[in-house]
Structure 1
Amino acid sequence: MSQITFPEFTYERPDLDRLETAFNAVLEELKAADHLNDAIAAVEQIDSIRASVSTAYNIGYIRYSINTRDEFYRGEKDWFDQHLPRTEQWKVDYYRALLDNPHREALQQHFGAQLFDSAEVSIRTFRPEILEELQSVNKLSSEFTQMRGGAEIELEGETYNLSSITPLEQVPDREKRKEASSAKWQWFAENRARIEDIYAEMVKLRTSMAAKLGYDNFVGLGYANMNRTDYGPEQVANFRRQIQDHIVPIAQKLYDKQRERLGVDRLHYYDLSFRFPTGNPKPQGTPDEIVAHADRMYQELSKETGDFFRYLRDKNLMDLEAKDGKAPGGYCTFINDYQSPYIFSNFNGTSHDIDVLTHEFGHAFQVYSSRDQRPLEYNWPTYDAAEIHSMSMEFFTYPWMEGFFGPDTDKYYFSHVAGSFRFLPYGCAVDEFQHRVYENPELDNAGRNAIWKEMEAKYLPHLDYSDHDHLHDGTFWQSQGHIFSVPFYYIDYCLAQICAFQFFLKDEQDHESAWADYVRLCKAGGSKSFLELVELAGLENPFEDGVVKKIADRMRERLDV
């Protein structure tokens, strides 16, 4: 099996009835185990059953993402949307059996406390009464993905999708940028009613689930779904305040410098993605040449990364180029039974192509490094910690950027660091927006758009949508897929960015030490909580007062602001 490539990976819809019977039989063995070794063996069998379901789902989802018009895998995605939520009950039953197990103390010593801490949180996320709501949310999420994946944007006789139009939003000709950006947002405007209705229904369904599970609103359930065991909304709110105090002013100076460079009186929405009057940094060469340089880069970075990148290439575990019908965005997932990560992206000729090769590779390298961790929960850390691996890899690969960008390398360095700063306020805006929405679920579409306008004024005061009615109404958030599909998954990027900046600064001082810390972090997988992993990597806690300011002060020196 280990020699076959991804196109040869077997997809078979799981027989959930048969698997549930097997699962429940092993669960009884776990509950009745007379000896610790019998309990451990039961946990490993349960892992195997759950991994088989995850494997089928991920193979199907990847093939659906590659071509959302593929009728077979689209049908399989719809089937999973309908039937996968029933496996949430398996997980809850399993976690209860762990927490109530007579061998709990010994099992905790064997597997570590994180499994049990996660179990305590997770058992509060499901009861059979919310099954229909989960199915409905999944169906709505798939509809939103299919809408975006099937977007057709007409411009000057050509048809683009949401990925392929991006380069046209970064051309030097301001009028052409405006035309491209306007065309893209016109698609959102034309689909606004359905997009808003999808989200309104999601908020209603998630609020209903939270009420059935005993939460005041969906915020608590959302945090539990994210498996956050060592911080809550109060710590996140304090972190956002630090970003507002110490990062927003730097970001505004960066936007003002950009305005001066471009020689315009005001930065309009169609100017934001255009960073230099001579053009944005663009990767050189064909996609094949870019991948070939990435191969050289990872061979030189370390033996571990070199061997792993060859593994991804040899087994066809990457789909990188934008195509019609392909789902937008990029991600990394893990196919358990083949112990193989998979990288999905949409190359479009911009510097983002290189960011994906480093960012998603960071995810892939981490999960491959911890693929042998047991139990299953430990292959991946929680999202917040997982983004440390990806964002830090972007910095570890800096010495090889000249091979991608040639004479544009300095522009890339500046754009990347500046972009990291500019992202932090946006990430906080997305996070606070979601808190406000789910704390006030009675709001209508206009009320939610009004909240986004407040977030823009607070975190992104540079924005100027005065000549675009759709965006001026507070609708930009409708382009952010995480808000729909993975609620509260966004502040994770901000927390990880502060940690990644620390890896960057450590790497400048002592590469060998920084890389050793990074590899240790990757190998730990999800065996510890977010803050424990931060400590394991020798990083400072981003929630602590003063840490954001300290990192901001050190990084801004590279931006001359």
Structure 2
Amino acid sequence: MTTALRFEAISEPTPSQAELGDRYAAIGATLDSGDRAGALDEWDRLRRGYDTWSALVHLHFAQDTADAAARAARDYADTLAPEAADLETGLKRRLLSDPDRIGLAALVGEHALRLWETDVTTFDPAIKPELEEESRLTARYTELLASAKLEIDGQTVNLAGLGPYAEDPDRAVRHRAEQVRWGFFAANGAELDELYDQLVRLRHGMACKLGFATYTPLGYRRLRRVDYGPDDVARYREQVVTHVVPLVARLLEARRAEHGWDRLRFWDEALIDPAGNPRPVGDHDTLVARAQDMFAGMDPRLDAFYGLMNQGGFLDLKNRPGKAGGGFCTSFPTVGVPFIFANFNGTHHDIGVFTHEMGHAFQNWQSREQPGVDYLWPTMEAAEIHSMGLEFLAYPGIGKLVGEAAADRFRRMHLIGALAFLPYGVCVDHFQHEVYANPDASPADRHAMWRRLERIYMPWTDYGDLEFLNKGGRWQAKPHIYGSPFYYIDYTLAQCCAMQFWVRSRRDYQAALEAYVALCGRGGSAPFQDLVSSAGLVSPFADEALSDVVREAAVVLGV
């Protein structure tokens, strides 16, 4: 059935609060009758339908943030979400109170019970208004960034459309692009400060209502982190400072010397390749077509899956006015086929975001037969292994997308970019830990926090005449800080694991690929570190994990 499915054929009726209440009451009655298995089956169907409807609503809004109907639908979904969470949490509490834990675990899995035990600590009816307001504020942030109309070299572009200018071989063009980008953020800085200030105070208030001293432990629980905590993450950040920051500093110094610049400025960092960053071989349609050849050369499972996605209309990759920025993968658990959203802009980032989101999508497809909604996706740091892992595993066929003559240059550029990302990624994480530890800090205090942390993680950064950045405003361009607190470290943890797949693929590509596909199939059936171990990878929290991959990368890059 799914092989012929088309995206436009997917639909779910809009649920009402009363309808959800009735369905949960019916599930409770089934439990009362002693039919626990039947109740769990009905609950799984309900959650799949609700999640599919919610995914469709939020996707349609992202596809056109200026569409009034899409905005109204999202507003309704954001209003309903706390009510649905109340019903879901109540049922989880009831199930967890069942004295027959062994029997319940036999039906849903012990890991699901551990996830539910975490979930029930993150919600209380008392925080419903705050949850609705949190959604409203993050939607406003998305709308604000999507509204950007930027003038550069006689063209009007959005933020994604600045990409080609920001990595142009001409240094003056790159400088102008960053002046235009950060001019937009400076013009909207007061609203961005106010939005974030409201979000921080709102989240701190929710945490206090739920019995936490600060938002940090609540943020970790909302991300369902059950096998590590802030202390583990802090040690990982220290490993990045020890092993990665010096290597990136050497790479940037080599770039400065190669170009003959007196100083490497911020607008020089995006130009990784001295000959100009390799670009896709053609436009959107060419790239989409060539990708089929690339996946066919990698693995028949990837080949068939990509064909299903492309032919079924499950890709929205073109940049256009009003479209939300960035890229993501969402899913519709009633049908099992995911959807990829991105904004192609003609740069190498098109290839990066495409292979990244394809990794998410392939994992969701491979794990579609996992029992229960809780296991369809892993927690996000594990999910990012699939996305970043596929970026590296696509190396052998990447010439299909950039041309064979540029393939080696692309691989080198991507590897350097992966390493350079780590200090920035952990800086974003450390910043959020400081913000939520100090919820009464002023906007100026937060900008000062960022600048201080930049000097630890990215000491090479020179913003020149970009005053907004010199004042500590760079973090305001990162949507995760506003909409998904504490998420961003997940990318860096996953990068450590993805690079282990890269190291293994250099020795035995097929074995690395099989381990990757098997990991995708496990979905979210285990916690992060157990999934990592099951794939033969070393946990990022182990001291040797990061140092080993950095050592290999330094050899390959010759620095």
- State the TM-score, normalized to the length of structure 1: 0.97
Partner of 2:156, secondary structure, is strand
Q: Give the 4+ runs in structure 1 shifted more than 3 A.
A: 1-4
Instruction: Give the AA of the match of 1:363.
Output: H
Task: Name the counterpart of 2:308.
Answer: 311
Distance apart, 1:156 and its partner CA: 3.3
Is the partner of 2:334 in helix, strand or coil? helix
What pairs with 1:500-519 in structure 2 (closer than 5 Å)?
500-519=498-517
Which deviates further from its counterpart, 72-81 or 340-349? 72-81
Among 195, 204, 210, the residue aligned to 1:198: 195
Q: Could you tell me which residue of structure 2 aligns to residue 16 of structure 1?
A: 17
Query: Shift of residue 524 of structure 1?
Result: 0.7
Aligned 1:184-195 pairs, distance under 5 A: 184-195=181-192
Give the structure 1 partner of residue 418 of structure 2: 420
2:61–2:74: 8 Å Cα contact kept in structure 1?
A: yes
SS in 2 for 1:133: helix
> For 2:81 and 2:336, how far apart are their aligned partners in 1?
21
Gaps of 5+ in 2: none
Q: In structure 2, what is the equivalent of residue 147 of structure 1?
A: 144
Q: Which residue of 2 aligns with 1:282?
A: 279
Secondary structure at 2:365 match in 1: helix
Match of 1:458 in 2: 456
User: Relative to 1, partners in 2 of residues 1:418 and 1:118: Cα closer, same or farther, differing over 3 Å?
Assistant: same
Contact 2:255 2:274 in 1 (8 A): no
Deviation at residue 519 of structure 1 after TM alignment? 1.4
- The equivalent of 2:547 in structure 1 is 549
Q: Is the 8 A contact 1:236 1:543 kept in 2?
A: yes
Q: 1:172 is matched by which residue type in structure 2?
A: P
Is the aligned partner of 1:381 residue 2:382? no
- RMSD value, Cα: 1.3
Letter in 2 for 1:439: A
Matching of residues 57-76 of structure 1 within 5 Å: 57-76=54-73
Q: 1:323: which partner in 2?
A: 320
Contact 2:298 2:397 (C-alpha < 8 Å) held by counterparts = no
| Letter matched to residue 293 of structure 2 | R
Per-residue CA deviations over 1:483-522 (Å, capped at 9, x if unaligned) read 0000000111111111011111111212222222111111
Cα offset for 1:325? 0.9
| Amino acid in the other structure paired with 1:145 | T
Q: 1:551: how far off?
A: 1.9
Deviations 1:192-235 (A, max 9, x none): 00011000000000000000000010000000001000000011
Amino acid at match of 1:555: A
Query: Hey, what does 1:177 align to over in structure 2?
Result: 174
SS of corresponding position for 1:247: helix
**Matches of 2:5 and 2:397 in 1, distance apart?**
31
| Alpha-carbon offset, residue 102 of structure 1 | 3.5
Q: C-alpha distance in 2, partners of 1:28/1:467?
A: 66
Q: 1:130-156 CA distances to partner (integer Å, 9 max, x unpaired)?
A: 111111110000000011111111223
Are residue 251 (structure 1) and residue 262 (structure 2) matched? no
| 1:131 aligns with one of 112, 128, 131 | 128
For residue 352 of structure 1, the aligned residue among 343, 349, 354 is: 349
Greater mean alpha carbon deviation, residues 138-147 or residues 547-556: 547-556
Residue correspondence of structure 1 range 102-113 to structure 2 within 5 A: 102-113=99-110
**Which residue of the other structure, out of 486, 489, 492, is the alignment partner of 1:488?**
486
Farther-moved stretch of structure 1 (482-491 vs 39-48): 39-48
Tell me which residue corresponds to 2:477: 479
1:39 and 1:103 in contact (8 A); partners too: no
1:447 alignment partner in structure 2: 445
Letter in 1 for 2:463: Y
Question: Is contact 1:82–1:139 with CA below 8 Å preserved after alignment?
Answer: no
Q: How far apart are the structure 2 equivalents of 1:500 and 1:33?
A: 48
Q: How does 1:73-88 map to 2 (within 5 A)?
A: 73-88=70-85
Q: Matches of 1:276 and 1:102 in 2, distance apart?
A: 62
1:12 and 1:73 map into 2 onto residues whose CA distance is 15
Post-superposition offset of 1:4: 4.0
Is 1:267 equivalent to 2:264 in the alignment?
A: yes
- Counterpart CA distance in 2 for 1:299 and 1:466 is 46
- Relative distance call for 1:11 and 1:165 in structure 2 (3 A) is farther
Read off the aligned partner of 1:116 and give its amino acid letter: L
What secondary structure sits across from 1:333 in the alignment?
A: strand
The residue type equivalent to 1:535 in the other structure is S
1:546 is paired with a residue of what secondary structure? helix
Deviation of the 1:286 alpha carbon: 2.2
Could you tell me which residue of structure 1 aligns to residue 112 of structure 2?
115
Residues 1:62 and 1:139: Cα distance change in structure 2 (over 3 Å): same
**Contact 1:281/1:411 (<8 A) preserved:** yes
Contact kept? 1:294, 1:357, Cα under 8 Å: no
Counterpart of 2:319, as a letter, is A
188-197 vs 273-282, greater mean Cα deviation: 273-282
d(CA) in 2 for partners of 1:539 and 1:468? Answer: 41
SS in 1 for 2:257: helix
1:403–1:481 CA distance, 2 compared to 1 (3 A): same
Tell me by how many angstroms 1:101 deviates.
1.6
Q: Counterparts of 1:476 and 1:516 in 2: how far apart (Å)?
A: 39
Deviation at 1:33, TM superposition (A): 5.1
Partner of 2:399: 402
Alignment of 1:284-299 (within 5 A): 284-299=281-296
Tell me the residue number matched to 1:27. Answer: 28
Structure 2 letter corresponding to 1:518: Y
**What amino acid maps onto 2:351 in structure 1?**
I
Aligned-partner Cα distance in 2 for 1:317–1:149: 22
Give how far 1:11 is off: 5.0
Partner of 1:526: 524
Amino acid at match of 1:536: S
Alignment partner of 2:90 out of 93, 100, 109: 93
SS state at 1:342 partner: strand
Matched-pair contact (CA < 8 Å) for 2:273–2:413? no
Point out the more displaced range, 431-440 or 102-111: 102-111
* Range 10-19 or range 56-65, more displaced: 10-19
In structure 2, C-alpha distance between the alignment counterparts of 1:70 and 1:12, rounded to whole Å: 20
Note if contact 1:259-1:265 (Cα within 8 Å) is conserved in structure 2: yes
How many correspondences in the alignment?
557
Please say if residues 266 and 464 of structure 2, whose CA atoms lie closer than 8 Å, have aligned partners that are also in contact: no
Deviates more, 1:370-379 or 1:86-95: 86-95
Distance 1:57 1:321 in 2: 23
Distance in 1 between residues matched to 2:237 and 2:326, nearest whole Å: 25
Give 1:436's match in structure 2, choosing from 425, 434, 445: 434
Query: Matched residue of 2:342: which SS?
Result: strand
Map residues 45-56 of structure 1 onto 2, 5 A cutoff: 45-56=42-53
Alignment partners' CA distance in 1, 2:52 and 2:165? 38
